[in-house]
Structure formats: C-alpha cells, structure tokens
Amino acid sequence: MRSFEWRGDKLAILDQTRLPGEEVWLELSRPEEVAEAIKKMRLRGAPLIGVVAAFGLALAALGSGARTPDGLLADVREAAELLKSTRPTAVNLFWAIDRVMGVLGKAAERGAGVDELRRLAVEEAVRIADEDIQMNRRIGMHGEKLVPDGATVMTHCNAGALATAGYGTALGVIRAAVEAGKSIRVIATETRPLLQGARLTAYELLKDGIPVMLITDNMVGYVMSRGMVDLVVVGADRIVRDGVFNKIGTYTIAVLAREHGIPFYVAAPSSTLDLSRSSRDVVVEERDPEEVTHVGPVRIAPEGVEVFNPAFDFTPMRYVTAIITEDGVFKPEELIAYYSQSRTEGPR
C-alpha cells in the first residue's frame, strides 16, 4: 500500500479523506498545494507529513524561476515557512524541512548552482522517504519481539503505511509480527473525530489479510476489562522528555492500559524525538469544530453547541512501557539516556 508517489516533477498523493469509500489520487505540483493537502488532512501521520513536506520543498526548488542560488534558496525558504505553518504539533514536519534546508544551505555555501540545488532537493526528499520505510522495517523488527504469538494488539488512529512512506510504525510492528509467522489479531479504535482507525487502519489491515476488529473509542475500557487485549501499540507525533504527544485519545488508552496491567508501547522513528523539549513547550493543535459536529455531510449535534477539538493529547512517560525506534526498544529513561549520548557523540 502506497500513500504517495513521486513522479519526477509532481507528487501524487492518495486522498485519505476519501478512504475507504474511494481511492482518489491527486497530483500536486506546487508547495502551496502540498501545504493545503497537509492542512486538510488529505494525508496525515507524523512521518508522512515530514516526507511530503520534503517533496513540497523539492517542488518549490523545481518550480522556482530564480537564476541565482540565493534566489532559489529564498523561494524554497518561503515554501518552508508555509509548510511549517500547516500543523504545529508533529515534529517530523520541522525535522524534514530543516534537513532539506540544511542540505541546500551547505551546497549553496560550497558554490552549487541552481540546477544542482534543484537536483539535491529532490534527492534529499527521495532519501527521506526511502529512509522512512527502512526505519519502519527496523521498528517492526525490534517491536515484533514484544508481540507474543496469538496476541491481540490494540492500536489507535492510523500509524500504518498510510501514515508513513510505507509499512508503518505501530502497524509496522504488527506487520513484522505477522511476517514472523505469528497469529495476530488487531483491535482498532475508530478514532473520532476523523475516524482514521475505522477508515484507514481497518482498511489497511483488511487489505493485508490481518484480522481486525473495529470498536468505538469509548469501548476501550470494556474490552480491556474483558481480557480481550494483550498489548497496545500506537504511533507518536512528538516525543518529548516527559512524554508522548499523539492523536487525541492516546492518553485515555494509556491510563486504561496501566489500570488493566496491559503493556503500552509507542512505535516511532527517531525523527519523532524532541528530547530537548518538554510537554509545556508544545502547542496542541485545535481543529475546526465541524470535525466533531459533522460526520461527512451529516450534522450530529445541534447548531450553536460549543465544541473542544484538540487534535492531540499528551501521555506522560509513567504510562509508557517502552518506546520502539529504529534503534531498538527503550524504557522511557533509557530512551533519554541513549539519544542524549548518541547526540553528543555525533551521528549514529
């Protein structure tokens, strides 16, 4: 399953707002179109947003009419600002943009011309995408060891192929367990308001032939109390020193998991880490009330009702059993120690 396709001078994306009903591909040729697609959540998922933003910069470089490296860099920088403004919480967006800008900045310093800068922007975006898939496979490899044969795994939202360049983070762990020959069942929470669990996770897993049962978000406690869940695996939008930002509802599940003695794992690439910050530094995006008051065209709440619609919540580290990255499985305190050390020691 692919969430996007780079077509040399255009980025084709699968419009996730139309799933599972229709598989509609959109071709984007300008960074403004990429920004709009991210904002409207035609694609979503922290890693995928990062990858696609990188391609947005590549499109900016390709589309720039500048004749000097400085002019081209200014055009790309403008696109970077636009893309960074789309969604404030997931950190991979900023990470990927900074990475492309860093490559272009260094190349310009050593005297690269506009054509080389264009080529480098595309190459870096492609590299980020390829690396994302590789990282997910390594997350899967490490994570599947935590999944016993015969287990039922609960997951929230969609941290699958549709949230990444491919394979998925939380669903990557599940896929790797299945590839290792284990018999795995998934319980997917529907994930209101935008229903990524019902629309995307159920769809992805059904396509792969992995047994999946759909529940509404408020059934989490009941299914856990009935002994129906062996472990929870979710993705992450940003991991800070004191905990994990992820799709709204994650914290509710984490508290219930601890109450029932069920392991709660977070699977995410290291590009999701922002360990120099703590939760108080992070802005939780609040989205349009209509996402709550409407499902598709159907109004489900009276006119004029006040709505709270945070897109994410924060799960303190004390609820997290372990975090799975491409580098291994870490208890929260180990994660901070490992990545602080590896940073001071330079690139891994």
> Can you give the binding site for a second copy, defined by CB under 8 A?
20-21, 187, 189-193, 195, 198-199, 202-203, 206, 211-223, 225, 248-249, 251-256, 259, 292-293, 295-302, 304-310, 313-314
Closer Cβ to a second copy, 40 or 299, answer by number: 299
The residues, ordered by sequence, that sit 6+ positions from 114 with a Cβ below 8 Å of its Cβ are: 64, 66, 67, 68, 69, 71, 72
> C-beta of 260: minimal distance to a second copy in Å?
9
Token representation of residue 185: 């069942």
Q: Examine the residue annotation and report whether 237 is marked as an active-site residue of this protein.
A: yes
The Cα 61–Cα 117 span in angstroms is 7
* Annotated catalytic residue within 132, 237, 274, 313: 237
Q: Report the residue number, 26 or 292, with the smaller CB distance to a second copy.
A: 292
Structure tokens at 266: 């977070």
CB 234 → a second copy: shortest distance, Å?
12
Alpha carbon distance 335, 263 (integer Å): 17
- Closest contact distance (angstroms) between CB of 20 and a second copy is 4
C-alpha to C-alpha distance for 190 and 177, rounded to whole angstroms = 22
Residue closer to a second copy, measured from CB, 78 or 281: 281
Which residues, including other chains, have CB under 8 Å from residue 110's CB and lie 6 or more apart? none
Residue number with CB closer to a second copy (109 or 303) = 303
* CA distance from start to end of the chain: 30
**Neighbour order of strands in the sheet with 25-28:** 4-6, 11-14, 25-28
- For residue 287, the minimal CB distance to a second copy (Å) is 11
Choice between 182 and 258, CB closer to a second copy: 258
CB of 225 to a second copy, least distance (A): 6
d(CA 124, CA 98): 11
CA distance 189 to 216: 6
Q: 3-state secondary structure string, 28-80?
A: ECCHHHHHHHHHCCCCCCHHHHHHHHHHHHHHHHHHCCCCCHHHHHHHHHHHH
Q: How far is the CB of 339 from a second copy (least distance, A)?
A: 26
Q: Which CB atom, from 191 or from 271, has the smaller least distance to a second copy?
A: 191
Nearest to 253 by CA among 191, 166, 178, 171: 191
Upstream peptide bond of 211 is cis (omega within 30 degrees of 0)? no
Which residues are part of the catalytic machinery? 237
